[in-house]
Chains A and B, each alone.
Chain A
């Protein structure tokens, strides 16, 4: 069961890494905000929950989230068989993995430069 979840997370990671750019902003604090903002909103869309779009930043996260949710739904049929609790678990696992790959485990030595 755990392996199945891991495999599904890796499929989603592979999609993001090959098709998206939002996860690779240049500083750690921006990557944290991007991962949190976009993946949380993607989870909310996939779970039919309301999504906050009040600020320009929120709207920008939402734009990427809409496209990501659509891509996930069209490419990974198994997503349609999951209930909302499972989707939340999946998306939390995805966020943890993305945080590791792009922030905490990243070898990029510029991530913590205090200036742009």
Chain B
């Protein structure tokens, strides 16, 4: 097994089995790190907790819901507004956060009364919102508060409200992934099948594992609507609580982030016979294949092809402009989970980037199987890395850019390595054809930022050049390019708008006559 031992982790020998380098002739049966295990004591992990995974990643993107944490205020504060999952209802779910504000006295005397009071208070403060998700935390779980009973009491007293209880305290798993699992299963057990939806199309899907980061969901739903497909629910970005109670009526589950949401797809397949189709919304080729597959499933592949042709013609010359300038740049692809495999191959093929390392904070071995398969030889794959290991990789592999979260990202910046926020994005959406060009533009801007070039000068020892003038990004990126490329009429920089979403929100869509009688409940 080609395990990789970090110099900085020699004192934690158990870490050795969590990193591998895929060498020549090696495959998944010889190169796969351990994964989804408890963090080894002494390793300063970058993971989140199971409460965070349930609430922050999956629960809170639901847009028409009061998201209440039963616990100390820090739990809800630390899972608030750090991930840009916007919504088309004025970002209600991002604007407010709610907690019962448990204190020491509640740990001694119990906090059920406090919980009930807070639930009622929150519903009264927002009389137009009739749905709530309620999250257990470590503190309330350890004292044994029965939050299901309190939720039921409130629902009995206020018949127009509905409350979902998520019992995923922070200690409920090795990482946030434990929380993803718990909320998936809790949702299908408690809520799916409770609402009968209005069916408006012959072609009905659930869009699962999509969190509308900076509008990703809205871009993808636009494609589906242009194909005449009804998106019954989105689990959960920009998703509506009651739509998600009707997931059992879809014809197909289209799954984007399998890491966080494959559980509910698998259960929908077993319990309701709805098949699961894994798709990729990132990158021209994977996205085209995904739209085509959804089209094929319903026998409307011509509609998918029309979108693919139109969007490719519009945006491919712009993607290629960036590809010419990003070729050969080394990247550490260090996201949380699914993006390591969503991006590993397509950023190499469509942007010319070289992936020198992949890591996952909370992914399972299945994610590493996908990620390692999609990397080229020589890539260093790390499970649950600690900060020192990240620094060691940056010093030895010398990447040109890192795609990661904001905590390790800030560390990278101190080492003068630019980073892009893989979780919340910079100038997203990054899904869709235009979105993929926006991602390429963000990478270009990060690598060739003139300010970043100045950061390479160490004022404590380097001589400060006074004779060089200020260099623009293009002067930096085009210095070694041929005139054929720099003067090309076929290639161009991004020409889209700063705001690519508003136009989508006000769009009207073609009507496709239905072949069968549709149910309207």
Contacts and interface: CB of A to CB of B under 8 A. Distances in A.
Interface in A52-91: 56-57, 59-60, 62-64, 66-67
B36 A66 contact: no
Nearest to A64: B293
B20 to A, nearest CB: 10
Centre residue among B280, B341, B373 by max chain A CB count within 10 A: B373
Contacts of B275: 56-57, 59-60
Nearest to A97: B27
A64 B286 CA distance: 12
Contacts of B292: 67
B293 A63 contact: yes
B400 interface: no
A19 B286 contact: yes
B154 interface: no
Interface residues of A, number: 29
Interface stretch (B307-315, B364-372, B483-491): B364-372
B277 A18 contact: no
B374 A110 contact: no
Given A17-B373, A60-B277, A110 B29 contact: no
Given A21-B370, A57-B275, A105 B36 contact: no
A27 B258 CA distance: 13
A25 B263 CA distance: 10
A60 B252 CA distance: 9
Given A19-B345, A63-B296, A56 B251 contact: yes
Interface in A5-60: 17-19, 21-22, 24-27, 30, 56-57, 59-60
B266 interface: yes
B28 interface: yes
Nearest to B368: A108
B165 to A, nearest CB: 20
B27 A18 contact: no
B23 interface: no
B29 A107 contact: yes
Contacts of A56: 251-252, 273-275
Contacts of B258: 21, 26
A102 B270 CA distance: 22
B195 interface: no
A106 B29 contact: yes
Contacts of A30: 266
Interface in B331-363: 341, 345
B284 to A, nearest CB: 13
B46 interface: no
A24 B366 contact: yes
A101 B269 CA distance: 25
B138 interface: no
Contact of B370 (A24, A57, A64, A101): A24
A18 B374 contact: yes
Given A21-B280, A56-B274, A60-B297, A26 B266 contact: yes
B501 interface: no
A109 interface: yes
Contact of B293 (A24, A67, A102, A108): A67
Contacts of A109: 34, 365
B29 A100 contact: yes
Interface string B261-287: 011001101100111111110000110
Given A116-B262, A116-B267, 7 more contacts: A25-B276, A26-B266, A30-B266, A56-B273, A57-B273, A60-B277, A64-B277
Interface of A: 17-19, 21-22, 24-27, 30, 56-57, 59-60, 62-64, 66-67, 100-102, 105-110, 116
Q: Which 10 A-B pairs have the closest CB atoms?
A: A17-B373, A105-B29, A60-B275, A21-B278, A116-B266, A108-B365, A107-B32, A63-B296, A63-B293, A56-B275
23 contacts: A17-B373, A17-B374, A19-B289, A21-B258, A21-B279, A22-B278, A24-B369, A24-B370, A25-B276, A30-B266, A56-B252, A63-B297, A64-B277, A67-B289, A101-B27, A102-B28, A102-B369, A105-B29, A106-B28, A106-B369, A107-B29, A107-B32, A116-B267
